[in-house]
Amino acid sequence: MSLSRYRLQRNWGARVLEYEFKGMSAVFLENEKLRVGVLAGKGTDVFEFNYKPRDMDFVCLTSRGVQNPMAYLSTSPDPLATFLDYYPGGWQEIFPNGGPPSSYLGAHFGQHGEVSHLPWDYHIIEDSEDAVAVLFSVRTQKMPFRIEKELRLLAAESCLRVEEALVNESPVPLRAMWGHHITFGRPFAGEGCLIRLPDGVSVVPHDEAINQKGRRVKADKNYTWPYAERETGGQIDLSVLPPGGELSEMLYLAGFTEGWYEVENRQKQLAFRLEWDVERMPYLWFWQEYGASEGYPWYGRHYSIGLEPFTSYPTSGLARAVENDTALSIGPHERLQFSFRATAVET
């Protein structure tokens, strides 16, 4: 962590604010249009992405909200609960394991790997009224990796720019899953919201239901976005979010010729657009929780979706991604780059 005690301050243009939030270091990048809150003390979770002209926060927050892992001891510290008990919603970096507990080269990983649980170091690398940038970094504990992540915000723009580097700090070639768990919920995402994707995207259903009541999409075939067959018969338009109470679903979107998507709330005349390096992360996980899950951890309380760029699939852990050869390959001492842009758009 870095705390700039004597840094010059201002309340106009682009600026960086440093706080302690629930006992964790937090960094806010802000300008005339955006306020982006980042938990440096927990995974660099983005727990606020607020479009200030409309006071619209695009991130999903769970009913528990942000929790400090140091302030609460889970009563069931199993590999699944260690992620879900502290899951605030928002956006997480996922590495090196995507999905449930898995093992690789003798290392055992819990739900969604390591870096979303770790505190990150940071320092401010640009600080002017025209632009601010913060560089975050972390080393994984179970594997010899370092991630560096620069967040940049320019004055008067509603776009957050992110540049990342992943480094294998060992002489051993390694495999990993790398992704961004970007979720949306109330007050932005709800019934009737529209998802736009490039033409020709394939839809691959997860191999099993993620809801005890069953699933929406018939899983014996792949589809072309946005239509799929309903398990109970008929057709689903996946591009339009359904009413609350629909079954949860996990799908994978592939075959992108361009790396972008948009989620639009037509009633509010606002949209969120993500543009990312699709060569590095060719898959988009489409997680859907519409309030039908009555058990742990949702109990029917949440309406949220995730549209998550990933190197690999499915959400079955690193060992499965190695088996199907979608796991990222990182050579000895190799450095890989990734970038994305997140933008609030008035429609």
Do 63 and 88 touch, CB atoms closer than 8 A? no
R_g over Cα of the chain = 20
Reduced to 3 states (helix: H, G, I; strand: E, B; else coil), residue 13 is coil
Which token pair is 76?
A: 């069931």
pLDDT single digits (tens) 238-259: 999 999 999 999 999 999 999 9
Q: Which residues pair with 133 in a beta bridge?
A: 126, 152
The reported pTM is 0.93
Tens-place pLDDT, residues 186-205: 999 999 999 999 999 999 99
**CA-to-CA dists, residue 247 to 143, 218, 288, angstroms:** 37, 12, 8
Closest by CA position to 297, among listed 91, 110, 83: 83
Determine the pLDDT at residue 76: 62
Mean pLDDT across 205-216: 91
Q: Residue 3 above 60 pLDDT?
A: no
Torsion angle defined by CA atoms of residues 313, 185, 243 and 299, in that order, rounded to the nearest 10 degrees: 80
d(CA 301, CA 173): 43
What domains sit in the chain, N to C, each tagged with a CATH number?
15-346 (2.70.98.10)
CA dihedral for 263, 264, 268, 270, sign (positive or negative): positive
For 167-183, how does the pLDDT look when each residue is reduced to its tens digit (9 = 90+)? 999 999 999 999 999 99
- What confidence tens digit (pLDDT) does each residue in 14-62 have? 999 999 887 889 999 999 999 999 999 999 999 999 999 999 999 998 7
Question: Are the beta carbons of 235 and 229 closer than 8 angstroms?
Answer: yes
Q: How many CA atoms lie within 13 A of 204 on its CB side?
A: 13
Summarised one tens digit per residue, pLDDT across range 249-302 is 999 999 999 999 999 999 999 999 999 999 999 999 999 999 888 888 778 888
